[in-house]
């Protein structure tokens, strides 16, 4: 009797966890990254930096989850792929350029890293908006709703802002792997 109850509890719990993972795996992975992102934001020493970095990390996570769920992109491979590609091909700024950009925008309360992430996300969102508008007007005008011209760039912006650190880490890992395979050193 007790063995049957334990077996029942284990089976139902396992079934629940597997079903949750199968249905919500993108959001679970995003939640894990959000916890890591907030933890990294809290490691800054200045109180202003901690507050602004944590607020941007939480806001970008909430925006990413909201856009993915509302627009039903949470399982769209192409959304994740284009954000990953966008981080790899966008412009990289030097520290001098970031300092000048921060002072020009009068955003001295932000950390330079966040200014970089916001500008990079905005640049890639512009590229994606132009590409999706071109594809829409040239090919998909009769098949897709025009609201897709707002959904894709908005989702791209918040996802780029949120996933930029992990994408940069993966790009760096791939670059180091490629250099190791080719026998070159940095």
Give pLDDT, residue 48: 66
Report d(CA 89, CA 67) in Å as an integer.
23
pLDDT at 25 over 80: yes
Report d(CA 83, CA 34) in Å as an integer.
16
- What the block records as the tokens of 145 is 């709703």
pLDDT at 6 over 80: yes
Q: What is the secondary structure of the chain as a DSSP string?
A: -HHHHHHHHHHHHHHHHHHHHHHHHHHHHHHHHHHHHHHHHTT-SSHHHHHHHHHHHHHHHHHHHHHHHHTT-TT-HHHHHHHHHHHHHS----HHHHHHHHHHTT-TTS-HHHHHHHHHHHHHHHHHHHHHHHHIIIIITTTS-TTHHHHHHHHHHHHHHHHHHHHHHHHHHHHHHHHHHHT---
Give pLDDT, residue 98: 67
Q: 144 or 13, which is more confident?
A: 13
Report d(CA 118, CA 160) in Å as an integer.
8
What is the rounded average pLDDT of the residues 13-24? 86
What is the rounded average pLDDT of the residues 98-104? 70
Q: Residue 72: which region, alpha, beta or left (left: phi > 0; alpha: psi -120 to 50)? A: left
Give pLDDT, residue 94: 62
CA 32 to chain centre: 12
Report d(CA 64, CA 74) in Å as an integer.
9
Q: How does the average pLDDT of the chain come out, rounded?
A: 79
- What the block records as the tokens of 131 is 């590409």
pLDDT-derived band at 46, boundaries 50, 70, 90: low
pLDDT-derived band at 31, boundaries 50, 70, 90: confident
What is the rounded average pLDDT of the residues 52-74? 85
Percent of the chain with pLDDT over 90: 1
pLDDT, one tens digit per residue, over 169-179 is: 777 777 778 77
Give pLDDT, residue 44: 63
What is the rounded average pLDDT of the residues 74-101? 74
pLDDT at 60 over 80: yes
Report d(CA 8, CA 15) in Å as an integer.
10
pLDDT at 42 over 60: yes
């Amino acid at each position: 009797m007790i063995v049957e109850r334990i077996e029942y509890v284990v089976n139902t719990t396992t079934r629940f966890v597997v079903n949750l993972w199968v249905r919500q795996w993108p959001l679970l992975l995003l939640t894990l990254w959000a916890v890591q992102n907030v933890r990294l934001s809290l490691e800054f020493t200045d109180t202003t930096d901690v507050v602004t970095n944590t607020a941007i990390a939480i806001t970008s996570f909430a925006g990413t989850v909201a856009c993915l769920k509302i627009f039903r992109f949470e399982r769209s491979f192409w959304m994740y792929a284009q954000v990953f590609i966008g981080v790899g091909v966008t412009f990289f700024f030097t520290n001098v350029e970031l300092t000048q950009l921060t002072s020009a925008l009068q955003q001295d309360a932000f950390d330079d890293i966040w200014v970089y992430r916001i500008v990079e996300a905005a640049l890639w969102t512009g590229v994606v908006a132009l590409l999706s508008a071109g594809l829409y007007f040239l090919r998909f005008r009769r098949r897709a709703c025009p609201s897709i011209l707002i959904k894709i760039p908005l989702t791209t912006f918040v996802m780029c802002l949120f996933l930029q650190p992990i994408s940069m880490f993966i790009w760096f890992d791939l670059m180091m792997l490629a250099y190791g395979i080719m026998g070159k050193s940095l």
